[in-house]
Chains A and B, each alone.
Chain A
């Protein structure tokens, strides 16, 4: 059963690293939000699921508390992460940052 935890931890670390890499590699704010939000959210699912599995396997009061609380942290992260990135994208657009290399900008046309 330990092997499952190792695999979950490794996959989570890979996707979180991909998020950090996307933050460095992409050319403008919106594409960076794409990479950072998707990858860190998906990676966190795996990392925290590893903790939940570990808690249930350990069992008893301490393990059960660990599992339930980690599950709560995951749920809050899943709700708040896309919402926060949505707010950042909206704020950046209204603050006057245009998407780089854009082939079409429908929002610009409609605001005029």
Chain B
């Protein structure tokens, strides 16, 4: 039963992507019949192959639409602003050559794989930090920090409000 649900949901996602990519293939900005048939067949195959790879246990909570809205708000607001600051920061360090690097550890206490992935990618894109490794059992992050101010930092010192956003989106 679970396998069937996984198959159906993954196939629906694949079909949505396919339909967006083949928009305007028919008349009046819509799809032609042959495109639709090919898309359904391919989406079913993709769902069969990729379904069990993509869905972890408890991944169903991402089907709630408000989490996608939160992800969009997070990407367009705090993440974009942090990326802008990160680029100015890198420009400053490229010109002056002032760095004080090191690898530090902190524990953001995230449980699901998706939340950890979102936090790791966000950390890589925000000022002065780069995720090097994640301990899978304890969930501790090892982060290459370009300007070390504290050798045993709290999560807030390294990446501010990002763990709270990751928890809000995916847990």
A70–B76 CA distance with the chains assembled, in angstroms: 18
Q: How far is the CB of A106 from chain B (nearest CB, A)?
A: 4
Residue of A nearest to B95 (CB): A25
Q: How far is the CB of B164 from chain A (nearest CB, A)?
A: 19
Q: Which of B113-136 contact A (CB under 8 A)?
A: 117, 120-121, 124-125, 128, 130-133
Report chain A residues within 8 Å CB of B20: 68, 72
B52 at interface (Cβ–Cβ under 8 A)?
no
Q: For chain B, which range describes its interface: under 10, 10 to 19, 20 to 34, or 35 or more residues? A: 35 or more
Known A-B contacts A61-B24, A102-B103, A106-B105; A38 and B86 likewise in contact (beta carbons under 8 Å): yes
Residue of B nearest to A63 (CB): B24
Known A-B contacts A37-B124, A104-B148; A64 and B90 likewise in contact (beta carbons under 8 Å): no
Contact A34 B94 (CB under 8 A): no
A-B pairs, 3 with minimum CB distance: A104-B102, A82-B124, A82-B121
Report chain B residues within 8 Å CB of A64: 23-24, 29
A105–B101 CA distance with the chains assembled, in angstroms: 9
Report chain A residues within 8 Å CB of B161: none
A31–B80 CA distance with the chains assembled, in angstroms: 21
> Chain A binding site: helix, strand, loop or mixed by DSSP?
helix
A7 at interface (Cβ–Cβ under 8 A)?
no
* 12 A-B residue pairings within 8 Å (CB atoms): A18-B90, A26-B99, A30-B101, A31-B146, A34-B90, A35-B90, A37-B124, A38-B86, A45-B80, A69-B21, A83-B121, A93-B133
Contact B130 A104 (CB under 8 A): no
A33–B87 CA distance with the chains assembled, in angstroms: 13
Contact A68 B102 (CB under 8 A): no
Contact A100 B87 (CB under 8 A): no
Contact A34 B128 (CB under 8 A): yes
Report chain A residues within 8 Å CB of B105: 106-107, 110
Q: Which one of B104, B133, B148 has the highest number of Cβ atoms from chain A below 10 Å of its Cβ?
A: B133
Contact B125 A38 (CB under 8 A): yes
Q: How far is the CB of A87 from chain B (nearest CB, A)?
A: 10
Q: Which of B127-153 contact A (CB under 8 A)?
A: 128, 130-133, 142, 144, 146, 148, 151
Residue of B nearest to A85 (CB): B124
Contact A68 B21 (CB under 8 A): yes
